[in-house]
Amino acid sequence: MTAAAGPGSEELAQGVLEGRARAIGRAISEVERDSGSVPDILRRLFAQTGRARILGITGPPGAGKSTLVQRLAQAYRRAGHRVGIVAVDPSSPFTGGAILGDRIRMAEIYTDPGVFIRSMATRGTLGGLARATSDAVDVLDAAGFDIILIETVGVGQDEVDIVRAADTTAVVLVPGLGDDIQAIKAGILEIADVFVVNKAEREGADRAVSELSMMLDFAGHPPWRPPIVKTSAPSGSGVPEAVGALEGHGAYLAQSGEGRHRRALRARSRLLALLEDRFRRAVEARAPEPDGLEEAVRAVQERREDPYSAAGRLFDALVRGARGAAAGRPS
Amino acid sequence: MTAAAGPGSEELAQGVLEGRARAIGRAISEVERDSGSVPDILRRLFAQTGRARILGITGPPGAGKSTLVQRLAQAYRRAGHRVGIVAVDPSSPFTGGAILGDRIRMAEIYTDPGVFIRSMATRGTLGGLARATSDAVDVLDAAGFDIILIETVGVGQDEVDIVRAADTTAVVLVPGLGDDIQAIKAGILEIADVFVVNKAEREGADRAVSELSMMLDFAGHPPWRPPIVKTSAPSGSGVPEAVGALEGHGAYLAQSGEGRHRRALRARSRLLALLEDRFRRAVEARAPEPDGLEEAVRAVQERREDPYSAAGRLFDALVRGARGAAAGRPS
């Protein structure tokens, strides 16, 4: 099924801008499978983006993130906001649009027309999933959702890359993690603007809070010290405090200029990823040519040329205009 | 500390070709920190590579891989081979050259001049670690080691990328993994040419073997069915069988043409990674120019231009010669 750019994209974009759920869902499906119409759809939507507040919710499996996300969505709804949710699971091989799963996981908010929920899972490369997440956030933003929650399952580099699309990120942990807090890769702690100790009804919640607090003491005095909030998602206890912590960070972002700085970094890494994608396609397109990749592979395999020299030659052939600027290293 | 290409590289390469341990160690250090002299060193060594047999040993932490690698190295030594070992830990933040760790882990072979052991750990990106592993293997290959063992700790995509540099890969498991076998990401099982059930003196070894065997039955009839070998590394029991299985796969690679095919794929992915690295450097070098990345970031941030259009424009400015070939997608 190929979706070419054209009147279809225009209609779809119009539907998204009018906030119609079916158009939003279809646009995210296009984004998810990286169809040819994505650049055209995004081009039509992009001027209407940049208004939503984007929140990342991440943490290890079993931390109760889905229930917490549902509670947060309800809290924002009560405050009069429209809420979009993108749930991303980098480790899952299942395709997106896991509607049944969404329905079960977030039953209480699923029928609320002021909430849009969408799951996305690994398809192809992970870089692709970070791109798809950014694009899906743009779709929801253009559709007029004020609050967009990105939920990821996991604690690896993959999740870090995905929640980078957020303005504010909450890392959700649970009591009893104990020494495992150290085992969580440093990267995920570094992206925390807010810590949520969920399942706080369990034994060890206060200990988890004081361990996190000690860890933060250890990190010195950054301009923003992530607050630590205890929640119990099923009962909803602590959820107003969690919203308060998220919004407190939002105020900090606005006042300090850090928010603008983060969005610039995000635009930069997004552009770089799209550029690299284009470059890969260009290399592949020229691979069979006499000065292309396939001949270079043969040269390397037959030891006629080393990989660095071959890459340099290929690069020069491909990027003629950039030859001077590309001299980042001797070769 | 900047190491420029020059007479230093020539001397270093000469030392490597003569098999001198200090030169080998220094060359791998250059490779590890991606110094400017790496292309020059590799260029001087590359014609002398391609002769070693490269074995990947991977599996979950605690599977006893280090002891097994030591036993395999001893077995190959007894057969008259020189053995190079590269131990790669993608999850470790420690820098390479973990000499003390090597000394303790592989005490019995550490003083054997026919064995060279080197640890490498995460520094910077992981793509960088796969590159560094390939380059380190080339150094050891050029230095005349007949057998090169790449040991990785872990079971994720990172490890899969690293052991792709090997001709033959053994996945090491332990009894009692039980249902966890399913939990190991599919990727790591797909790269297994040989399965080793280590710590076979433990209860459940036969069950682990039959579970693996069932899993392989399930996978149908590929041209090579990975043999399953039981070992007990501390006593060395099963190690000759493990060597037999590894060498059996080596014979299969040679006879079927699969070995040549794999080396071509490896040369291809290595070239692509180096090309992408060059492209990133070229983009960064031109970032401050009027048609460069920084202005595009501002345009995206101010919603004057969407990311896809901006990336397309940047790409055209950078890759003038490739404009026609780059039309992989409409934009």
Partner-chain contact A271 B311, CB within 8 Å: yes
For the whole model, what pTM was predicted? 0.77
Give pLDDT, residue A99.
Answer: 42
List strands edge to edge, sheet with B115-121. Answer: B115-121, B83-89, B147-152, B53-58, B168-173, B194-197, B228-230
Q: How close, in Å, is residue B5 to chain A by CA atoms?
A: 7
Give pLDDT, residue B225.
Answer: 94
Q: Cβ contacts (< 8 Å) between A328 and chain B: which residues?
A: 278, 281-282, 284-285
Nearest to B143 by CA among B69, B71, B76, B46: B46
Question: Of A246-250, A299-303, B253-257, B286-290, where does mean pLDDT reach its minimum?
Answer: B286-290
Q: What residue segments make up the domains of chain A, in order of their start?
A: 1-46, 49-256, 267-322
For B153-177, what is the mean pLDDT?
81
Residue A94 has pLDDT above 60, yes or no: no
Q: How close, in Å, is residue A10 to chain B by CA atoms?
A: 14
Q: How close, in Å, is residue B79 to chain A by CA atoms?
A: 28
Partner-chain contact A322 B282, CB within 8 Å: yes
Nearest to B292 by CA among B309, B314, B307: B314
Nearest to A279 by CA among B219, B94, B278: B278
- Alpha-carbon gap, residue A311 to B163, rounded angstroms: 22
Q: Cβ contacts (< 8 Å) between A189 and chain B: which residues?
A: none
Q: Cβ contacts (< 8 Å) between A330 and chain B: which residues?
A: 4-5, 36, 39-40
| Range A49-256 has CATH code 3.40.50.300 | yes
Nearest to B271 among A263, A281, A296 (CB): A296
Partner-chain contact B267 A307, CB within 8 Å: yes
Q: Half-sphere exposure of B31 toward its Cβ, with a 13 Å CA cutoff? A: 31
Q: How close, in Å, is residue A300 to chain B by CA atoms?
A: 7
Nearest to A242 by CA among A108, A72, A76, A60: A72
Nearest to B17 by CA among B148, B138, B142: B142
Partner-chain contact A297 B268, CB within 8 Å: yes
Q: Cβ contacts (< 8 Å) between A40 and chain B: which residues?
A: 330-331
What does pLDDT average to over chain A? 84
With beta carbons less than 8 A apart as the criterion, state whether A275 and B283 touch. Answer: yes
H/E run at residue A230: strand A228-230
Nearest to A308 among B43, B311, B328 (CB): B43
Rg of chain A (C-alpha set)? 22
Nearest to B310 among A271, A298, A328 (CB): A271
Nearest to A133 by CA among A82, A69, A86: A86
SS (H, E, C) chain B: CCCCCCHHHHHHHHHHHCCCHHHHHHHHHHHHCCCCCHHHHHHHHHHHCCCCEEEEEEECCCCCHHHHHHHHHHHHHHCCCCEEEEEEECCCCCCCCCHHHHHHHCHHHHCCCCEEEEEEECCCCHHHHHHHHHHHHHHHHHCCCCEEEEEECECCHHHHHHHCCCCEEEEEECCCCCCHHHHCCHHHHHCCCEEEECCCCCCCHHHHHHHHHHHHHHCCCCCCCCCEEECECCCCECHHHHHHHHHHHHHHHHHHCHHHHHHHHHHHHHHHHHHHHHHHHHHHHCCCCCCCHHHHHHHHHCCCCCHHHHHHHHHHHHCHHHCCCCCCCCC
Partner-chain contact B328 A185, CB within 8 Å: no
Residue with the larger pLDDT of the pair B208 and B53: B53
Partner-chain contact B40 A296, CB within 8 Å: no
Residue A322 has pLDDT above 60, yes or no: no
Q: How close, in Å, is residue B326 to chain A by CA atoms?
A: 4
List, for residues B10-45, the tens digit of each pLDDT value.
999 999 999 999 999 999 999 988 889 999 999 999
Q: Half-sphere exposure of A171 toward its Cβ, with a 13 Å CA cutoff? A: 25
With beta carbons less than 8 A apart as the criterion, state whether A34 and A142 touch. Answer: no
Give pLDDT, residue B317.
Answer: 85
Q: Cβ contacts (< 8 Å) between A296 and chain B: which residues?
A: 271
Percentage with pLDDT > 90 across chain B:
54
- Compute CA distances A94 → A90, A160, B190, whole Å: 10, 20, 18
Cβ-based contacts under 8 A for chains A and B:
206
List, for residues A259-315, the tens digit of each pLDDT value.
999 999 999 999 999 999 899 988 999 899 888 999 999 999 999 999 999 999 999
